[in-house]
Every structure is written in structure tokens, then in C-alpha cells.
């Protein structure tokens, strides 16, 4: 064979070896990227931390058995231009997911979110318990955050707890979200809703607190939205003349939240005599703090009560949820007698 032939053959061999090496590398990389992880059924949650680099995340993913190779993950992130596009959050990783699937998941930011329904009128304790049932945060951690003076100050809450400022709504939160972000979401929504009420504009924290306390009582008293401003007018008129609010809802709060008793089916006369600052049968004015989380209907009613001379209201139709409103105590008593007559005739 001539010298030129030898050189050509050698060059061909080098090229062939190079092709085989590239092909082998590509095949190996493909296997690393597509091979299923060690995630078992029914999957698991994994948190991508804020400010975490792709290489740091890759090492944690490999250490936790989520991916086969941190180097392959980092290389794929660079090749696809996704190095700086990883989104922090909590993600649900499914069995059989490969490295590319994990990478795409954290780039797209499709977090594992739980739909959380918080109804109107919950107390702080009830809210914490419900968040715990949803798997968002432990009740004890939530209560601790909601009574942290420093955190309350940061959130602009005037008081010793976030009671009343946890807006009832539908939320989407990642499982294991944590106490502080969950609390911040609820309070932020409260502020957004209050901002839609013109009368709240420019109100300082102390004045706002008074409205929230009143709204929290209205929330527990009204049954149909149309009557919320009417009930608000009764309480506002009583506050104006120095008359006790005499709300059974505050007594129930004393029994359940202050004394830790089960929710009563009936509030008895002896309950009205419990010496507690939240008992508006014994103490005039607003109680020292909210007794529930008011919704927008109750909040609007507290800020915009109807203009009436009424001082009393009584539930007259438990099914329809309607009340009878009175100006005098005698009329209030007669309304009660009419209710008893109606029940006796059924």
C-alpha cells in the first residue's frame, strides 16, 4: 500500500473511531436522560429552592435518587438554554420520569398545587386545622406564625393575632407550603378585597381593626346577604348610643375558642353571664379582637351599614334565614312571640 493509501486508511480509522465515540457518548447520554428514576409509586414531592442554580439542583436531584446523573441534567439544561429558567416551588414527581421530564417540569413551573377552600366565618384555630387537613401546613405552625408579633408587624396587622385578616376564598397552594407563605397569601387577599371598598381608603391600621372586628360579628349573624347591612346598622346604632352589642356569636366564641368547649346548639342564660372581654352581653363596645374571618359581604356591611333607627333584630325564619328588625324592645319581644306562635302552629 502506498504512503497516501496508508494515510487515508489511518484517517478513515480515526474518523470511524470518532464516530463510534460520539455515537457511544450520545447513546450513553440518551440513556442517562431518559432512564426512569428511582421514584416509586405514588410519586413524591420535591422542592426547588429560591436562588438555587441548575448545578446545585442537579446534585440534589441525583442525591435524592430523582435523576441518574447530575452532569447529564446540567448538560441538558445548558444545551437547551434552560440553565437560568428553573422556577422555585414544590413539584410532584411521578414514577418513571426521566431527567428531561424533570427538567421540563421545573422550567414550566407546574407546581403540585392543592385546591384549598376556606369558607366565611372560620376562626383562626379552625383555619389552621383546615389548612392542616389539606396538607398545606401543620395547625400548630400556622397558629405560631399567626401570633408572631414581628410577622404581624410586617403584615401591617394591628393586634396580637391574624384573627379576622385571613380572607375566606379559594386558594391554590403547594402541599407542605409552610406557615409564613400561607399566612402571607391569606392576608394579601384580605388587603386586596378591602381595597375594593371606597370607605377603607386611607384608613389607618387601628381604625381598620375596628371595622374588621365589627365585620367578624356581622359574618356570624347574617344569613342572607341583603340583611348584612341591616344587621350592621343595628350594631352601629348600638355602638353610637353606648348600648351593648349583645351578640350571641361573641358568646359562642367565648365558649368554643376561649374556653375550648364544643360548639353549643343552644346559648343559655348562664352562658350570657360568663365574665370574658369577648362577651358583648356583659361588656359594651366592640370585643378586643375579631371573632371570625369575615367575607366581602360582611366587610362591606361594616364599612357601609344601612341607615336605620333599628336597635334589635331577631331570626324569624331559620329556613329562609330572615330576621325581624325593631326599634323598640317591646316590638322585639312581640316579634319573638310571633315566632313562638308560628312554631306552635306547625
What residue segments make up the domains of the chain, in order of their start?
Answer: 30-108, 113-194, 201-310
- For residue 145, the model assigns a pLDDT of 98
Q: For residue 244, give the nearest of 280, 206, 198 by alpha carbon.
A: 280
Model confidence pLDDT, tens digit, residues 136-174: 999 999 999 999 999 999 999 999 999 999 999 999 998
- For residue 21, the model assigns a pLDDT of 44
Fold type of domain 30-108: Dna Ligase; domain 1 (3.30.1490)
* pTM, full prediction: 0.76
Question: Mean pLDDT for the chain?
Answer: 86
Widest pairwise Cα distance in the chain = 126
Rounded Cα gap, residues 128 and 101, in angstroms:
35
Q: For residue 326, give the nearest of 238, 219, 222 by alpha carbon.
A: 238
> Residue written as cell 410586617?
154
Rounded Cα gap, residues 235 and 223, in angstroms:
16
> Residue written as cell 502506498?
2
- For residue 106, the model assigns a pLDDT of 85
- For residue 84, the model assigns a pLDDT of 83
**Rounded to the nearest 10 degrees, what angle do helices 205-221 and 296-303 cross at?**
120
Indicate whether 19 pLDDT > 60: no
Contacts of 301 (CB under 8 A, 6+ apart): 215, 218, 222, 228, 229, 231, 232
Indicate whether 25 pLDDT > 60: no
Question: What are the grid coordinates assigned to 105, written together?
Answer: 417540569
Amino acid at each position: 500500500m502506498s504512503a497516501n493509501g496508508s494515510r487515508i486508511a489511518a484517517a478513515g480509522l480515526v474518523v470511524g473511531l470518532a464516530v463510534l465515540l460520539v455515537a457511544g457518548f450520545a447513546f450513553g447520554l440518551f440513556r442517562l436522560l431518559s432512564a426512569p428514576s428511582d421514584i416509586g409509586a405514588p410519586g413524591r414531592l420535591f422542592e426547588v429552592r429560591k436562588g438555587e442554580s441548575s448545578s446545585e439542583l442537579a446534585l440534589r436531584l441525583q442525591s435524592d435518587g430523582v435523576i441518574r446523573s447530575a452532569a447529564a441534567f446540567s448538560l441538558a439544561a445548558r444545551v437547551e438554554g434552560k440553565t437560568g429558567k428553573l422556577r422555585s416551588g414544590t413539584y410532584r414527581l411521578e414514577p418513571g420520569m426521566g431527567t428531561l421530564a424533570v427538567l421540563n417540569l421545573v422550567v414550566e413551573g407546574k407546581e403540585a398545587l392543592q385546591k384549598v377552600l376556606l369558607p366565611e366565618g372560620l376562626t383562626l384555630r379552625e383555619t389552621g386545622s383546615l389548612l392542616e387537613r389539606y396538607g398545606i401546613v401543620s395547625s400548630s405552625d400556622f397558629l405560631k406564625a399567626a401570633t408572631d408579633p414581628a410577622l404581624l408587624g410586617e403584615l401591617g396587622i394591628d393586634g396580637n393575632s391574624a384573627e379576622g385578616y385571613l380572607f375566606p376564598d379559594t386558594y391554590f397552594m403547594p402541599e407542605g407550603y409552610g406557615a409564613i407563605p400561607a399566612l402571607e397569601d391569606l392576608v394579601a387577599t384580605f388587603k386586596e378585597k378591602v381595597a375594593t371598598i371606597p370607605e377603607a381608603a386611607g384608613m389607618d391600621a387601628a381604625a381598620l381593626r375596628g371595622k374588621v372586628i365589627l365585620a367578624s360579628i356581622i359574618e356570624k349573624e347574617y344569613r342572607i346577604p341583603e340583611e348584612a347591612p341591616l344587621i350592621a346598622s343595628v350594631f352601629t346604632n348600638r355602638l353610637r348610643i353606648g348600648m351593648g352589642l349583645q351578640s350571641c356569636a361573641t358568646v359562642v366564641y367565648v365558649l368554643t375558642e376561649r374556653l375550648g368547649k364544643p360548639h353549643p346548639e343552644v346559648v343559655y342564660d348562664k352562658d350570657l353571664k360568663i365574665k370574658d372581654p369577648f362577651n358583648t352581653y356583659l361588656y359594651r363596645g366592640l370585643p378586643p379582637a375579631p371573632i371570625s374571618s369575615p367575607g366581602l359581604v360582611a366587610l362591606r356591611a361594616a364599612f357601609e351599614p344601612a341607615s336605620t333607627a333599628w336597635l334589635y333584630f331577631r331570626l324569624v325564619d331559620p329556613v329562609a334565614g330572615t330576621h325581624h328588625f325593631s326599634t323598640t324592645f317591646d316590638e322585639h319581644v312581640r316579634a319573638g312571640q310571633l315566632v313562638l306562635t308560628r312554631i306552635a302552629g306547625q
